[in-house]
Chain A
Amino acid sequence: LAKTTQPISMDSYEGQEVNITCSHNNIATNDYITWYQQFPSQGPRFIIQGYKTKVTNEVASLFIPADRKSSTLSLPRVSLSDTAVYYCLVGVYYGDGNKLVFGAGTILRVKS
């Protein structure tokens, strides 16, 4: 069961790039790394997923080093609306002893 560790909170200013790192030292060979964003009173929302190296989509990039023991979510040019809790999730699927378990998340506060 891969456990994740993230910073509790981070502060940034509008227009800056924000990098949030997640440690997952006991990641298994088949595990994917997925990041979610959660606003108050809403369910988490998928941001990006990767297995190794770098993945980029229209909202974020995900950097995964060769040993896969950590990953970094990069948010380019954040705005006030990016203020949210960000969760790193490591796992494959439910069943056969696998259970997708969330960490405590990182509270990102973007200031003007």
Chain B
Amino acid sequence: NAGVTQTPKFQVLKTGQSMTLQCAQDMNHEYMSWYRQDPGMGLRLIHYSVGAGITDQGEVPNGYNVSRSTTEDFPLRLLLAAPSQTSVYFCASSYRGNSPLHFGNGTRLTVT
């Protein structure tokens, strides 16, 4: 049981490039979410999903797209990377609404 797996661990992009951050969980959790964490700040919610085929925006959705075609996977897409998107990105999942969140170990993204 691997829990929540995020890939890659590190990534450097140039402004304007695109990429997809991968997130997979093997716990059959319905709820998944993406957070970003910037130095000295807490975690800010980007997008979330309450089940396959259902996604919605969080606090800071601009510049990011998500989709949820399967229960296991919840990729985060950056279409036109900007330096302001330099951050550490965490994916989380939970069994149901009031269940504790399980986090991956993050992807550290630098946009130059």
Residues of A participating in the B interface, judged by any CB pair closer than 8 Å: 30, 32, 34, 36, 41-46, 49, 87, 89, 92-95, 98-105
User: What's the interface size class on B, roughly?
Assistant: 20 to 34
Task: Report chain B residues within 8 Å CB of A103.
Answer: 42
In addition to A42-B105, A93-B96, A101-B59, 12 A-B residue pairs with Cβ atoms within 8 Å of each other are A34-B100, A41-B105, A43-B104, A44-B43, A93-B50, A94-B33, A94-B48, A94-B97, A95-B54, A99-B58, A99-B59, A104-B42
| Nearest CB of chain A from residue B1's CB, rounded to whole Å | 15
Task: Report chain A residues within 8 Å CB of B35.
Answer: 102
Which label, helix, strand, loop or mixed, suits the secondary structure of the A interface?
loop
| Nearest CB of chain B from residue A35's CB, rounded to whole Å | 10
Question: Considering the chains assembled together, what is the distance between the CA atoms of A81 and B90 in angstroms?
Answer: 22
Does any Cβ of A come within 8 Å of B56's Cβ? yes
